[in-house]
Amino acid sequence: MNTIIKNVLTIAIFAALSASCTDYLDKAPESNITEKEVFGNFNSFQGWVEEMYVCMANYHQNLSGNYYHTFNMADMMTSVPLWWDDGNYWSQRFLYNPYANLTPDGGVMSKYVWPLAWYAIRKANLGLENIDLLQGTQEEKNLIKGQCLYFRAFYHLELIQFWGGLPYIDKPLSVSEAIALPRLTYAETAARVAEDFEAAARLLLENWAKTNTLVASTDATRVTKIHALAYKGKDLLYAASPMMNESSTGVNAYDAELCRQAAEAFAEVIEICEQPGSKYHLVENFEDWPSIFAVISAGMVQRPGNTEVIQNQQVYETYFHIYTTSRACNPVQWGFGNDKVEAPTHNYVKYYHMANGLPTDDPESGYDPNLPWANREPRFYNDIVYDGARMLANGVGHEDLEFARLDNRGVLRNGVGGIAGSVTGYLYKKFNPITCNWYDGNVGNFQAYEPRLRLADVYLMYAEAVFYGYGENAEAKAPNGKYTAREAIERIRSRAQLPPLPAKYYASGNTPLYNFMETLIRERAVELAFEGFRWFDLRRWNIAGELKYRQKTGLQFDVDASGKPYNVREELLGTRVYEKKHNWVPFQPQFTRIHEGFLQNPGW
């Protein structure tokens, strides 16, 4: 068997345990391709690298049967049932499936986090080991090496954010070498991740279109200096966060030094992206904001993201979103065939501000619990389907669906007419522009994906890192930063057409409502709603077990003949199971039996 193919397929024991090593290797075809032919020129070497891009699992699209995941929505939404709300983290097939194909081939249903992350790490290490075989320009060598370093870091980060500290694999290993490696702490692993992202950032360019390579014209999804710096900052901020820091040091608080390092990385990203002509920059006009998440495009040739999404989800099946991202939030009555609908919880919807910019629980906000969808901020009306909201552009023949009927007897309410519907009195539409349904005709002409990383998130993470890195001071900023912590949050709020919050909302301490952390939690909840960050945020802040983040509520209400709601009341629908052990996902038992140094996560 050819050495290259055999080395790639002999993935470290973490992936290979899914099947017999002999059977697994037998799947590879014979080949006479030499290392020089693979690694000797830029185009061939780049082809090797390309496979690392398609090792990225889509958390929302690879669950057999239902085709979408909701584990990372935490307190954001509910249905009957919802993944992981019962505390059963053993049902983690999207992370590790013992029956999955362990190569990146195939469609979205074969993309599992655990095996493909190790596969990509192995490929990155083999690429780095063979970089000297490349006969090319210095720019070409830098781009190849930078991508390999990036993906080695990216896939280690992908793993540790679920499972905690792991061995850091920085060279191709045999099975015997791999099984001898003990787990590192989260901080130790994250430090190695940061080193690789930093090295990658100094090799990669800001825009592939400006290179002299033959692939310069197809650079839309290739990683850049901005990717590497942004993920370096995220990696360090996660390591600095209370839950991760507690797991590493026993201290349930932010690590200020790691926060400062994260802030500096984020500041560099922001500086680059605010330069004229930058490939990535904030979408300034709110009317263009929906194009970050979904676009209508005949033939589905255009992708969402606009100029703001840095790391987009890899597209494996262009039509699949109507069974996943969109299917999860659309009513069954639209003809998507769901057996359940993921509906936003009322407790979460209350995070959206009022039009005057104040939180709903501020006595001066003007919030009316009897008409909770009145006078809300623009992001509310972009994201949330509430009673009376327009659903169809053309309701002729479907008048009962033209406007949302979400009252207790409404056609879109769960159980009405014996059909699954909203259990909370809401639906969401962030990834569904109006007309993107069977009746208006654009169901086959739009694309919608949850971003992996976008620039607004960078501004918010920068604010968090600055605040906790420089003495819990909202007026502090990184030495290389343009914004204070407060200004970075207001930068995001202002493009959502909200006036600045009073200074009391950025205070240090734990005063209810009026403190920086509550403002940050609220802003991240709204700006990043339904994008898949909530479960990670609540865990890393070490607050996921608090009752207010576990309880899920819905609205019960009736409407009179004019459509005005009455008898409006909030009802507890359920409480998520969350214990200390749920901070980490458990390893499959066979991994922890390899040797005594590879320990199971606490509580499992």
Q: pLDDT value at position 141? A: 96
What is d(CA 69, CA 222) in angstroms, rounded to the nearest whole number? 26
Q: Rounded CA gap, 577 and 549, in Å?
A: 11
Tell me the C-alpha to C-alpha distance, in Å, between residue 570 and each of 153, 202, 370, 371.
45, 53, 10, 12
Instruction: Look at residue 18 and tell me whether its pLDDT is greater than 50.
Output: no
Closest Cα partner for 238 from 128, 345, 146, 164?
Answer: 164
CA distance 537 to 526: 13
Owner of token pair 């509430």: 386
pTM of the entire structure? 0.93
If you search the block for the tokens 């070497």, which residue do you land on?
A: 45
| DSSP bridge pairs for 169 | none
d(CA 354, CA 375): 6
Q: What is the DSSP letter of 447?
A: E
**Tokens matching residue 75:** 């307190």
Kindly give, in sequence order, each residue whose CB lies less than 8 Å from that of residue 20, ignoring residues fewer than 6 positions away. Answer: none
Q: CB count, 10 Å around CB of 374? A: 12
Within the chain, which residue ranges are assigned CATH 1.25.40.390? 3-59+94-197
Mean pLDDT taken over the chain: 87
Query: What's the pLDDT at 98?
Result: 53
User: If you write DSSP's letter for every residue of 1-17 in order, what string do you get?
Assistant: --HHHHHHHS--HHHHT
pLDDT in tens, 314-370: 877 776 666 667 766 777 777 665 567 789 999 999 999 999 999 999 999 999 999
CA dist 291 and 305 (Å) reads 6
> How far is the CA of 274 from the CAs of 260, 286, 331, 474, in angstroms?
21, 18, 40, 22
Asked: is 3-59+94-197 a CATH 1.25.40.390 domain? The reply is: yes
pLDDT at residue 97 in the model: 64
302-312 residue pLDDT tens: 788 999 999 98
Q: How far apart are CA 577 and CA 558, in angstroms?
A: 31
- Strand, helix or coil for residue 62: coil
Alpha helix segments (H runs only) across 351-437: 378-383, 399-402
Q: How far is CA 416 from CA 333, 391, 411, 412, in A?
A: 11, 18, 6, 7
CA distance 207 to 192: 25
Coil, strand or helix at 573: strand
**Is the confidence at residue 66, as pLDDT, over 50?**
no
Cα angle: 89, vertex 93, 97; to 5 degrees:
130
Q: Give the range among 107-116, 134-143, 149-158 with minimum mean pLDDT.
A: 107-116
Give CA–CA dist 125/47, Å, rounded: 15
